[in-house]
Structure 1
Amino acid sequence: MTTEPNRAGLAQPGRRRGLRALVAAQGVSSAGDGVFLAAAPLAAAAITRDPAAVAAVTAAEYAPWVVIAPLAGVYVDRWPKRTTMIVADLVRAAAVAVLAGLVALGSVSVAAIAVCAFIMVAGVAFHSAAAEAVVADLATEPDELHRTNGHLQSSYNAGRQLLGPPAGSLAFSTAPWLPFAGDAVSFAASAVLLRAVPSEAATRQPQGPHQSVWSALRAGAAYLAGHAQLRALAILTAVANLSANMVMGILVLFATDRAGLGISTAGYGLLLVALAVGGIAGGAVVSRIIRRWGPRTTMVAGLAAQGLSWLVLAATSSPVAAGAALAVAFAGVSVVSVCVVSARQTHTPPELLGRVISAFRVVGNGTSPIGALLGGLIAAEWGLRAPLVAAAVVAVAALTCVWTLRSLRQR
């Protein structure tokens, strides 16, 4: 089913300003996320060397995707979208500002860091679902939709993976409270930028009476399950995430162990830079690739790039070749992600989009921790290169989902 949101009363310049503001806000808040991801474990490790306590911070970051994201989808479909994004940013700014104060006063605990991490990711669940719905409203042409989603993907990778983590580590080494204070400023800045999003699109509400929360959740899940293309894309995302996290779960060991690349921790950081640059480049060019090849062929190319890159990584002992392989692989990840998001926006009714996004994420992202665990188990049994080969096989298996897509019609 293809739907066309009601854009009456929205002038083209206003829509374009809104999309630019959304991309800018994404870049700023993603940089803040990257700062927090680097600084939070460092702050926890400065308090205790208990691995279980430090791991609790990471667990707190995963938990909202299970307990908050489904509810976020329900309320994103009911609340004004622009207001939802701004409030999510302001709540995150307040939470991380409190944490900065606790760190500065020497009163911080691992529990406080974990609570803040939970609030941060819960905010992501609300903000990202609302942002995707706003893009679906504001992007009037298929090419504009793909281009905007590509820019959002690039700004996400630039902030969260390339700029944020080193900035967070450096700021923490300067003053432990500094990265958290800077993070609070980033979310406040994002909220200010979002005021440029046109309120007409941001406040569009679904028609008809509200369902109960449980009925609303079931409606979103039922639509996803009953739509052949979206169902196939959700399974594809799950398989692709399984593949990527089989690699990421053991990448630091593969990079620094003599059985792998045998490089220093600084060299490992450069590999992560290569990975981020590839993701940024993929998001920057994806709209042109889709325009030339179409969404389905573009997804095939992106998945094939991932599979081949994992094989190159498994076969090489050269850090340069490994960095190039990771760049190509995560360019493929960005390309596939943009195709999936654009299809999800195009084939979902506006009044269901938030709930379908949440249901989609439960399926698509639920395999990420499984992939990391599986990669570790395979490496323990057969060596550090074995998970890379297995990831290539899984990436190729994801291609079978593409063949079930009869078409990816554009609006």
Structure 2
Amino acid sequence: MTTTAPAPTPTPAATLPAAFHRLWAASTVSSLGDGVYFAALPLLAATLTRDPLTLALVTSAALLPWLLFGLHGGALVDRWNHRRTMWLTDLARAVLLAIPAVAAAVGLLSIPLLIAVAFLLGIGQILFDTAGSAYLPQLLDRDLTLLQRANARTMGARTVAADFAGPPLGSALFVLARALPFGLDALSFLASSLLVRTLPGEPGATRGAARQEAREEQGETVGPAPAKPSLWAEAKVGAGYLLRDKVLLGLALRPAIGNLAFVGADAVLVLFAHQLLHLGDLGYGVLLASQAAGGLLGAALAGRLGGLLGTGGALTATALLEAAALVGLGCSGNPITAGLALALLGAAMAATMVLAPSVSQALIPAELAGRIGATRRLMAVGAAPIGAVLGGWLATGAGLRAPFLAGAVLLASTAVLSLTLASNRRIAEALAAAAGADSSSAAS
């Protein structure tokens, strides 16, 4: 009989370095700007057109770069300095957002302009998010306890800034002047860029440079650098590594399958709220806020849940809670039950989004962090539009409750993934192997 090894228990003595708090502040400020932007963008587009397809093109333009350039972006990030990539990208995004702000102020706005800006901002998001996910484990020395704590704080701040404070602020600023929300978002990216610019350099890059200097001082012959493979060849290396590693694959499939369920349900949630729960627009907003409130709680408790059940056990539990929440939501007949189900769903989702990325960041080799991170994100993003189409199709053929119940089945299947590919035993063995590889690399 085999025993299941629990994942490492969080160490109370571990503390986050001061540099993380600057990174956290940059993320929080940027998230507030994002919340403002995502509320104001459709409002601004609606002043230019009432065509649903055109509006959908504007709001979805930021996701298209992930499908077109996601893997290449990860390969580029692995070639570049992560900290420099982040602050230069946010500086560029600040300049980009100043364009619609100025255009709105002088009356030169157009739908093609908004689509172009959203598309370029999406490219910026690929570079910044991928570089950030690669930089954080280096900053925290791939310590799982610190990574869980850091991701929990980032998730909580992002929920407050982007979900609670940003959207109403963006709507209010838009009422005052159409340019204001975009000007504020531009300032948020500028502030984020300045904060990231103050972060320390990457330890891995410093160690690599030191080893190179030592070899030269000892008289070793340093030949010309070999020709670099193509971006696509480098991207395939990262994707292949992910597909071969059972733990990383299990952790990556979780958000991909989850997005099929979540986005499928979200696609019809507003109709569900209006037609079956008999909520107006204000009530629908309150319903969404209940999910965000649950997300705050889930992010705060993620570390404790991982310590109690082990990371693999916690991910199994959150998968089952997500499935139960979608069943409860799909079967609900009143707003209170629906709100409680959404709060549970938000809590389980947030805990998952803290625990799973933390383990991945601790396991992914530093030299592949950008490519593997981009592959994971591409899998999740690519599943979203498929989920939306499936949700709409199910609702049309089987009623508005069907996408929630079908989504629950998908989420329950992710519990099997956690039990098999990302169990406590597998995660513990993978973490031990990664720690051994780090020790060997540092010694050499």
TM-score range, shorter chain: over 0.9
Q: Does 2:424 align with 1:408?
A: no
Matched, 1:385 2:401: yes
Aligned match of 1:159: 161
Query: Normalising by structure 2, what TM-score?
Result: 0.85
Q: What's 1:101 paired with?
A: 102
Partner of 1:133: 134
1:73, 1:111 → 2: CA distance? 27
Residue in 1 aligned with 2:5?
none
1:31-110 maps to which residues of 2 (within 5 A)? 31-110=32-111
Quote the residue 2:212 is aligned against. none
**Contact preservation (8 Å) 1:206, 1:350:** no
Per the alignment, residue 278 of structure 2 pairs with 262
| Deviation for aligned residue 1:195 | 2.8
Which stretches in structure 1 are left out of the alignment for 5+ residues? 1-11
Listed one character per residue, the Cα deviations across residues 368-393 of structure 1 (whole Å, up to 9, x for unaligned) are 11111111111111111111111111
Q: Which moved more, 1:293-302 or 1:282-291?
A: 282-291
Higher Rg: 2
What is the identity percentage for the equivalent residue pairs of Structure 1 and Structure 2? Answer: 35
The Cα shift of 1:269 comes to 0.7
Aligned position for 1:307: 323
CA contact (8 A) 2:321 2:348 kept: yes
TM-score (norm 1): 0.92
After superposition, the CA RMSD in angstroms is 1.9
| SS of residue in 2 equivalent to 1:327 | helix
The residue number in structure 2 matching 1:190 is: 192
Q: Distance in 2 between matches of 1:68 and 1:164?
A: 28
> Superposed, which structure 2 residues align to 1:1-400 within 5 Å?
16-140=17-141, 141-201=143-203, 210-257=228-275, 260-400=276-416
CA–CA separation in structure 2 for the residues paired with 1:244 and 1:135: 27
Unaligned 5+ segments in structure 2 are 1-13, 210-224, 436-444
Distance in 2 (CA, whole Å) between partners of 1:155 and 1:161 is 10
Equivalent-residue separation in structure 1 for 2:380 and 2:41 (angstroms):
26
Contact 1:240 1:394 in 2 (8 A): yes
CA distance in 1, matches of 2:56, 2:208: 40
Instruction: Give me the whole-angstrom Cα distance separating, in 1, the residues matched to 2:122 and 2:289.
Output: 23
Residue deviations 1:349-375 (CA, integer Å, cap 9, x gap): 100010001111222321111111111
Contact between 1:83 and 1:202, CA under 8 Å: does it hold in 2?
no
Question: Relative to structure 2, which stretch is displaced further, 394-403 or 134-143?
Answer: 134-143
Q: CA deviation at 1:63?
A: 0.5
* In structure 2, distance between residues paired with 1:159 and 1:148: 16
Structure 1 residue ranges, 4+ long, deviating more than 4 angstroms after superposition: 202-209
For the structure 1 residues 201 and 318, does the alpha-carbon distance in structure 2 shift closer, same or farther, using more than 3 Å as the test?
farther
- Contact kept, 8 Å, 2:83 with 2:202, in 1: the verdict is no
In structure 2, distance between residues paired with 1:120 and 1:151? 25
For residue 173 of structure 1, what is the amino acid of its counterpart?
A: V
Residue aligned with 2:178, SS: coil
How far did 1:202 drift?
A: 8.6
Matched AA of 2:55:
V
Deviations 1:196-242 (A, max 9, x none): 32124495597985432121111111111111111122222211111
